[in-house]
Amino acid sequence: MGSHRNGLSKERFILSVDVGTTSIRCHVYDKEAKIKGSCATKVVSLYPEPGLVEMDPEALWQGFVIVVKGAVQDAGIHMRQVEALGISTQRSTFTTWDRKTGVPFHNFISWQDLRAAELVKSWNRSCTMKVSLKLPNISLLSFIQKRFLAASLLVFSTQHVTFRLLWAITHYKQVEAVAEGNCCFGTVDTWLLYKLTKGGCGFFHVAHHFGSTDPSIFGVSIPIMSVMADQQAAMFGQCCFDTGDVKITMGTGTFMDINTGSKPHTSVAGLYPLVGWKIGSEVVYLAEGNAADTGTAINWAQELELFSDVQQTSAMAYSVPDSDGVCFVPSFSGLQAPLNDPKACASFMGLRPSNTKCHLVRAILESVAFRNKQLYETMLRETNIPINKIRVDGGVCTNDFVMQLTADLFGRKISRPQYCEMSCLGAAFVAGLGAGFWRSQEDLKKLQTTDKVFMPRGAAQPGRAAGHLNGEYIPVLQSWERAIRRSMNWYSKP
């Protein structure tokens, strides 16, 4: 260990940092993709007014530096042994800063922030928007192309950076520097690159990397070989490299992604196309659907004291044969694809005096699996891409009841990795490939670890199609779908 601490070992490592909404985590990975050292710190969200969610840029930067140094120290290695740095970040959170001094004009405005809600509403109701939505339908009569129909379903939301940026330009006097050419704009990844390189980074670097860290920060210059959004990074960490590979991340919300290959997918049901990653000249696209209130619903139930420890929930659900007629609709933030109703409410339905906490918990967990089924069937119907494999990650995937029911509803086996922090691993994989630390994606597949495989019960019955329910859950799912319909369009405004 002494040779490691003195930096004399020839062993090299990859450093990867994931900047999330609630925490910043850094892991040090060896050649076998095993974690040799880790460090984490909390991200403090600021709420200056109801609906406004911010983060301090300088606090985020200091947190980044702290976890990098802490993870290297925890691994017992020297910074000189770090081959490359990979970064994964939350999406759609941004700030602006002075190009000359690097001083932020305001706090990060979070992806959760609602300050642009009225602006978004006015755009969605505007004449320009209405004309834009009608024209594709007219074109559809002539061309019958799904892309025109997809355009006709376009609706802006507060998660789009553009409207929050417009709000900032309008309300923050300092941002008037944009007219003087002295205003930089960037999401979390851009800000970190700016700080790490002290303003010397270019996004399309000729060497296919993002520059190197300034040696004054960590004592050495470390090549920055990957910068990714969290869900794309998780997809890569799960080694979903082939068309038809599916990744489901279940944390605060559920994000289901399918690899669509070299072409972006056009959706009419609420899936959205994403650039997955670009390595060299190869660009891989994904289609993504999400359900916003997965972990949110479980945390809410815990706050109501339906259980004290989230690890109890699977056993509680299995302790009763069914939910005793109770249905839960997980829509604290509305319903996303394929229903796309921002006015839907969360609700319990079918309550009766015989219900216990176990029935309520089971209903909540069932609702998570039912939303998974909705997203999965939408993905199958829209992409028409044969599914190769399904892998899961995120905190909720550790719940065996949810995973087994999801496998049953899909009629497909689902694999859960040994470690669930896939965003960090994905950024590390891409950085390692860029640095020559790992040779190929096939080599990365050999490093995958699996904790448990959930096989669908009854899926192998003769004549039973994949995803076709056995009799046990047909009436339960039908009741839940009725509850969904009654919860829709509940509020007068989102």
| pLDDT attached to residue 122 | 86
Task: Measure Cα distances from 360 to 208, 258, 324, 347, 365 in Å.
Answer: 52, 32, 9, 11, 9
In degrees and rounded to multiples of 5, residue 477 shows phi and psi of: -65, -40
DSSP-derived 3-state class of residue 132: helix
Q: How many angstroms separate the Cα of 151 from the Cα of each of 108, 267, 270?
A: 30, 9, 11
For the chain, residues classed under CATH 3.30.420.40 are: 13-114+159-220, 239-493
User: Among the CATH numbers 3.40.30.10, 3.40.50.720, 3.30.420.40, 3.40.50.20, which is that of 13-114+159-220?
Assistant: 3.30.420.40
304: Cβ–Cβ under 8 A, 6 or more apart, which residues?
Answer: none
Averaged pLDDT, 280-300: 92
How many whole angstroms separate alpha carbon 368 and alpha carbon 88?
26
Instruction: Give the separation between CA 489 and CA 494, rounded to whole angstroms.
Output: 9
Tell me the pLDDT band of 271, cut-offs 50, 70 and 90. Answer: confident
- In this prediction the pTM is 0.87
Nearest alpha-carbon partner for 285 in 276, 298, 293: 276
pLDDT of 325 strictly over 60: yes
Confidence of residue 260 (pLDDT cuts 50, 70, 90): very high
CATH class for the domain made up of 239-493: alpha beta
Report the distance separating Cα 78 and Cα 13, nearest Å: 10
8 Å CB contact between 161 and 115: no
- pLDDT mean over 440-452: 95
Residue 412 phi, psi dihedral angles, 5° rounding: -135, 150
pLDDT reported for residue 178: 78
Are the C-beta atoms of 288 and 255 separated by less than 8 Å?
A: yes
Alpha helices, H only, 324-440: 357-383, 400-410, 422-435
